Structure 1
Amino acid sequence: MKKIYLLCFLTVCISCNSQDKRALVGETEYQQKENSRFKDASKSPLDKKDLKNFKGLEFFPIDSTFIVNATFTKIVDAPIFEMATTTDRKPLYKKYGVLNFIINGKELQLTIYQSQSNLASEEYEDYLFLPFTDDTSGEDSYGGGRYMDVMISDINKDGTVALNFNNTYNPYCAYSDRYSCPLTPRKNHLDIEINAGIKVFKKH
Structure 2
Amino acid sequence: MGGMGPPAGGRGECGVRRRRVLEQDEQALWTAIVRDIRPLARKAARPAAVDAVPPAAPLAPSPADPRDRVARPATMVPRADMPRLDRPAFTLVRPRAEIAIGERGPGLDDTSWRTLVSGKLRPLRTLDLHGQNAHAAFQRLHGFLVQARADNLRCVEVITGLGSGRDGGVLRRELPFWLGRPDLRPLILAVVHPHAANQGSVRILLRRAR
Greater relative CO, 1 or 2 (CA 8 Å, sep 6+): 1
Q: 1 or 2, which has the higher strand percentage?
A: 1
Instruction: Give me the TM-score of the superposition, normalised by structure 2.
Output: 0.23
Instruction: Give me the TM-score of the superposition, normalised by structure 1.
Output: 0.23
Query: Quick check: which has more Rg, 1 or 2?
Result: 2
